[in-house]
Amino acid sequence: MYINIHTHILSKDPSHIEFYNVDIRKGDDEFSKGHFRCVGIHPWWIQSFSGYNLEKLEALLQGREYQCIGEIGLDRAFKEVDFETQCNFFRFQLEFAKKRKDPFVVIHCVRAYNDILKLVNEVGYEGVLIFHDYNGNEQITRELIGRGYYFSYGIKLFNEQTKGFKSFTLIPLSKLFFETDDSSLKIEEVYLRASKLRGKTLDEIKSRIKENFEELSA
């Protein structure tokens, strides 16, 4: 069994458990996809919801079956939406996750780790964060490990020049997940690559990720 903790593209492979990222711009059919779902307003999607008030945004996010808010976050490389607006949308959704008592949220973060940690502290969200497509340096990685957060890897495992790749071996296996995101990668390829990098058998990696998922979902 392979757990894909974050994907926008379903494989429909019966050996996969897929955590689907709902695109609420596409309507209610999205909420029937995947084995598990997260829903949120990605920082790249904010312009599609810029005319909404908070009540209307909250109505979009509630009343449907999904496991957590996500992916949400901040992206300093994305200039089409100003950073203050990104922060406002992130804060609102984090407050909603707090209200729902979500045990975790899925995070999109590009060059904004300290900003995210600051807002998490300000909102008082007490669940854990899963940093998907993780790409932090050694210093921020150690800080996030200390906070008990999780890290999800996919395509970064195949690019040795990235900060995320260089940080990979610092992260305890108990805090790892794997994903395909919106790439053409197969989750089997990601698991196999991770097993080689960590010097573990494929079965050991699969067993550990299953345990992580069960602990997170408990």
Q: What is the pLDDT of residue 121?
A: 98
- pLDDT at position 159 is 98
132 is in an annotated binding site: yes
Ramachandran quadrant class, 23 (left: phi over 0; alpha: psi -120 to 50; beta: rest): beta
3-class DSSP state of 218: coil
Return the ∠ at Cα 59 (arms to 57 and 65), rounded to 5°.
115
For residue 144, the enclosing domain spans 2-217
pLDDT in tens, 90-140: 999 999 999 999 999 999 999 999 999 999 999 999 999 999 999 999 999
Q: What is the CATH number of the domain that holds 154?
A: 3.20.20.140
Strand boundaries in the chain, DSSP class E: 2-7, 16-22, 36-39, 68-69, 72-75, 104-110, 128-131, 150-153, 176-178
* Confidence category of residue 12, pLDDT binned at 50, 70, 90: confident
Residue 16 counted as an annotated binding residue? no
Q: Is 42 within any annotated ligand binding site?
A: no
pTM more than 0.85: yes
Question: How many structural domains compose the chain?
Answer: 1
